[in-house]
Amino acid sequence: MATTSLRPCGDYRSSYRADQTLFDTRLSMLFCAGGVVLLLFAPFVLSGYVLSLMIQIGYLGIAALGLNILVGFSGQISIGHAVFYGFGGFASCYLSHKGVPVPLAIVLAGLWTTAVGLLFGLPAARVKGLYLAIATLAAQFILQDFFVRATWFTGGTSGAVAEPFTLFGFDMSGDHRYFYVVLFFFVVLYLGAANLMRSRDGRALVAVRDHYLSAEMMGVNLTKYRTMAFGISSFYAGIAGALYAHYIGYMSVEGLDILFSIQFLAMIIIGGLGSVMGSLLGTIFMVLLPELTGALAGALQGSAIDKALHLKDGITYMREMLIGAVIILFLIFEPDGLAHRWRQIKAYWKLYPFSY
Amino acid sequence: MGGEPSGVAAGATLLDVRDVSLRFGGLRALSEVSFSVEKGELFSIIGPNGAGKTSLLNCISGRYSPSEGRIGFEGRDITRLKPNKRAAIGIGRTFQNLALFHHMSVLDNIMVGRHHLLKNNFLTGALYWIGGAQKEELEHRRKVEDVIDFLDIQHVRKATAGTLSYGLRKRVELARAVALEPKLILLDEPMAGMNLEEKEDMARYIVDLNEEWGMTIIMIEHDMGVVMDISHRVMVLDFGRRIAHGQPAEVLADPHVRKAYLGEEDVEDPFEQEAPAATPGAAVRQLSA
């Protein structure tokens, strides 16, 4: 039975195919497709600044999704995500310097990062919980040190220059053009993850997270899937890092510290662990929050409150404090993240106005 | 019921357990347990708490590795085979303490049971529409729906497994094990904590699996009424040893079994008041109460 309402009040699907679609209603599919089409026109309308924010959301969102596959879906922890992101950036700089076309370099950088991720993921099959957290912390420090010392690869402390992104001789750098590059990778990688989660290996990952003993009894090879989660997660991080490097045109060791790794964790916790869409929501939140608090601080500057409390320079620190406060509030009031809130809104509308 | 296996062609040995011992440090959980299960049989293992029943099941399903002895399945030695390989050769199981994937839907839970039958991997899975993953997923969805129909859980197929009631979870767990298409299915207390009605349903599913789906079943169960009514053969364990083994009526009459369950002979003996052969179920139901 075809339905025209926004949210059908029951289950009217009549084929297994319709029951296993990516989007639960036709409308949400149209919304997403329409959204992507609208985004195609964004560079014609929006300012460079807004576009740069969206590009940021794009590549950080890809990295966050990678971490969510590892932490949210397969139930392992990683506090070294930033270095895989960094490795992808450096690898792409290195490859593009050697004459590899940039689009190919980005994909290859993703694969190289996968190899590194698998290497560090191998102990993952053996340790769990806090021990795994420490093992990934080791990855964070080892690779960070490697970036500083391996001057042939990263340029050491002075960093590496990334070639501009060109496609068939056409220069794609600059906010207005690079936007399309990020959008392409974003759509492909998000669709890929959503598909993965409704097929065999995605289910196996979640099964390992929820009950590894019975997953094993169902024929799931625990070692394989735990390691695989690290591989996939690093691939996403690597691509994201490479996209970042070619956007900025430069990759530096600075900023790839543990705080950045924790920021990725914050994104997926706020967005919703184990939710593909949550990864995006969390990233949007984390990218826009500094904007919001920055604006707030700007408004306070020189106001009566500022003078009364003698805030002066303290006003810039308010921004950082607010981010911290918001994360704590999320952990207390919405531990399942924004994705959960969104699901509840949808559930409410399902039977509107008769939802008793 | 009771008596001879009535399912598929009986006679060939499916599972052969020879002198299996299991030690945890100084503790002997199992001592030289031997038995064999034939194709199409419904075989029950009973015994007091701590007798080693679940340990024995864990040896068969590969969670524990026996300290001594060997386990053969269809003539092949599987004593050291990894647990995740045993699904592929046809051994499925359910757990005593529910072991569902709590955050997954019932449907996905059961689909995980078909893991070893599916071929799509993370690459074809991510591409989904290209490379045949969708086609394969839909084919298997059809098979899973057969299992869902059989166990009457259509109404909860989209529900998150962790939100279901206890009885339903047990049924979903059975569904997941059945979806594996096992030759041998190990049920660890499938009726524990159920009310009478749920027990009757579960007993019916088990008998149907055995007779109509042709699955060989090994069941651990404390409800003696059910055990005596539906099993073809029963084995009794006590302190990790096999103390009796045979047809339900024989086992019931065995003095060792009575001793294990009731203590020494001088205790008042309910078997003397009621003829065990006539109404075996009733007699032991009283005993286990």
pLDDT tens per residue across span A119-153: 998 887 788 888 999 999 999 999 999 999 999 99
Average pLDDT over residues A258-285: 92
What integer pLDDT is reported at residue A316 of this predicted model?
67
Query: Which stretches of chain A are DSSP H helices?
Result: 16-19, 26-45, 48-68, 81-97, 102-121, 129-149, 151-154, 175-196, 200-210, 212-217, 222-248, 258-271, 276-300, 304-309, 314-333, 337-350
What integer pLDDT is reported at residue A315 of this predicted model?
65
pLDDT beyond 80 at A14: no
Question: In this complex, do A219 and B87 lie within 8 Å of one another by their Cβ atoms?
Answer: yes
Asked whether A70 and A136 are in contact (CB, 8 A), the reply is no
Q: Mean pLDDT in chain B?
A: 86
Contacts of A217 in chain B (CB under 8 A): 61-63, 83-84, 86-87, 92-93
Domain that holds residue A58: 25-350
| pLDDT band for position A7 (cuts 50, 70, 90) | low
Q: From CA B228, how far away is CA B280, in angstroms rounded?
A: 7
Question: In this complex, do B115 and A196 lie within 8 Å of one another by their Cβ atoms?
Answer: no
* Strand-by-strand arrangement of the B76-77 sheet: B27-38, B13-24, B68-73, B76-77
Contacts of A207 in chain B (CB under 8 A): 101, 104, 112, 115
Asked whether B44 and B203 are in contact (CB, 8 A), the reply is no
Domain membership of residue A5 (yes or no) is no
pLDDT beyond 90 at A211: yes
Q: Hey, of A73, A218, A223, A343, which one would you mutate to test binding to chain B, going by the most B CBs within 10 A of its CB?
A: A218
Q: From CA A324, how far away is CA A262, in angstroms rounded?
A: 12
Contacts of A20 in chain B (CB under 8 A): 134, 137-138, 141
* pLDDT tens per residue across span B103-134: 999 999 999 999 999 988 888 888 888 888 89
Question: In this complex, do B101 and A210 lie within 8 Å of one another by their Cβ atoms?
Answer: yes
What integer pLDDT is reported at residue A328 of this predicted model?
86
Question: In this complex, do A199 and B145 lie within 8 Å of one another by their Cβ atoms?
Answer: no
| ipTM value | 0.84
Q: Tokens for B111?
A: 């689909």
Cis peptide upstream of residue B182 (ω within 30 degrees of 0): no
* pLDDT tens per residue across span A174-189: 888 999 999 999 999 9
Q: Which residues pair with B233 in a beta bridge?
A: B43
Contacts of A19 in chain B (CB under 8 A): 141
Candidates A19, A20, A216; nearest CB to B83? A216
Question: In this complex, do B138 and A17 lie within 8 Å of one another by their Cβ atoms?
Answer: yes
| pLDDT band for position B173 (cuts 50, 70, 90) | very high
Domain membership of residue B8 (yes or no) is yes
Question: In this complex, do B137 and A217 lie within 8 Å of one another by their Cβ atoms?
Answer: no
State the DSSP string of A17-66. HHHT-SSSSHHHHHHHHHHHHHHHHHHHHS-HHHHHHHHHHHHHHHHHHH
Domain membership of residue B250 (yes or no) is yes
* pLDDT tens per residue across span A250-261: 999 988 999 899
What integer pLDDT is reported at residue B60 of this predicted model?
94
CATH number, domain with residue B282: 3.40.50.300
Contacts of A196 in chain B (CB under 8 A): 122, 125-126
Average pLDDT over residues B138-159: 93
- Across A106-139, b (16+ Cβ under 10 Å) vs e yields bbbbbebbbebbbebbebbbeeeeeebbebbbeb
Domain membership of residue B100 (yes or no) is no
Domain membership of residue A15 (yes or no) is no
Q: How close B249 comes to chain A (CA, Å)?
A: 34
- Across B233-271, b (16+ Cβ under 10 Å) vs e yields bbbbbbebbbbbbebbbebbbbeebbebbeeeeeeeeeb
Q: From CA A162, how far away is CA B213, in angstroms rounded?
A: 63
Candidates A203, A209, A211; nearest CB to B111? A203
For A220, nearest residue in chain B (alpha carbons): B84
pLDDT beyond 50 at B283: no
Domain that holds residue B235: 1-90+184-191+216-289
Asked whether B52 and B240 are in contact (CB, 8 A), the reply is yes
Average pLDDT over residues A91-113: 94
Question: In this complex, do B112 and A203 lie within 8 Å of one another by their Cβ atoms?
Answer: yes
Q: Hey, of B84, B97, B114, which one would you mutate to test binding to chain A, going by the most A CBs within 10 A of its CB?
A: B84
Q: Mean pLDDT in chain A?
A: 88
| pLDDT band for position A307 (cuts 50, 70, 90) | confident
pLDDT beyond 50 at A61: yes
Domain membership of residue B122 (yes or no) is no
pLDDT beyond 50 at A83: yes
Average pLDDT over residues A322-332: 81
Lowest mean pLDDT among A11-20, A164-173, A305-314, B65-74: A305-314
Candidates A17, A19, A207; nearest CB to B112? A207
Dmax (CA) for chain A in angstroms is 67
What integer pLDDT is reported at residue B170 of this predicted model?
92
* pLDDT tens per residue across span B46-56: 998 889 999 99
Q: For residue B237, which phi and psi values (nearest 5 degrees)?
A: -110, 145
* pLDDT tens per residue across span B234-278: 999 999 999 999 999 999 888 888 888 777 655 455 555 444 444
In percent, the amount of chain A with pLDDT more than 70 equals: 94
Domains of chain A: total: 1
More confident residue, A300 or B60: B60
Domain membership of residue B76 (yes or no) is yes
In percent, the amount of chain A with pLDDT more than 90 equals: 56
Domain membership of residue A6 (yes or no) is no
Domains of chain B: total: 1
In percent, the amount of chain B with pLDDT more than 70 equals: 87
What integer pLDDT is reported at residue A335 of this predicted model?
84
Contacts of A188 (CB under 8 A, 6+ apart): none
CA dihedral defined by B76, B77, B79, B81, rounded to 10 degrees? Answer: -60
Q: How close B132 comes to chain A (CA, Å)?
A: 11
pLDDT beyond 60 at B4: no
CATH number, domain with residue A76: 1.10.3470
Contacts of B40 (CB under 8 A, 6+ apart): B5, B6, B7, B8, B9, B10, B210, B214, B216
Average pLDDT over residues B216-234: 93
What integer pLDDT is reported at residue A40 of this predicted model?
92
Q: How close B262 comes to chain A (CA, Å)?
A: 35
Domain membership of residue A246 (yes or no) is yes
Asked whether B92 and B63 are in contact (CB, 8 A), the reply is no
Determine the residue type at B42: L
pLDDT beyond 70 at A1: no
| pLDDT band for position B2 (cuts 50, 70, 90) | very low
Contacts of A307 (CB under 8 A, 6+ apart): none
What integer pLDDT is reported at residue B96 of this predicted model?
87
Lowest mean pLDDT among A140-149, A328-337, B180-189: A328-337
Question: In this complex, do B99 and A198 lie within 8 Å of one another by their Cβ atoms?
Answer: no
- pTM to 2 decimal places: 0.87
Q: Tokens for A11?
A: 């289950």
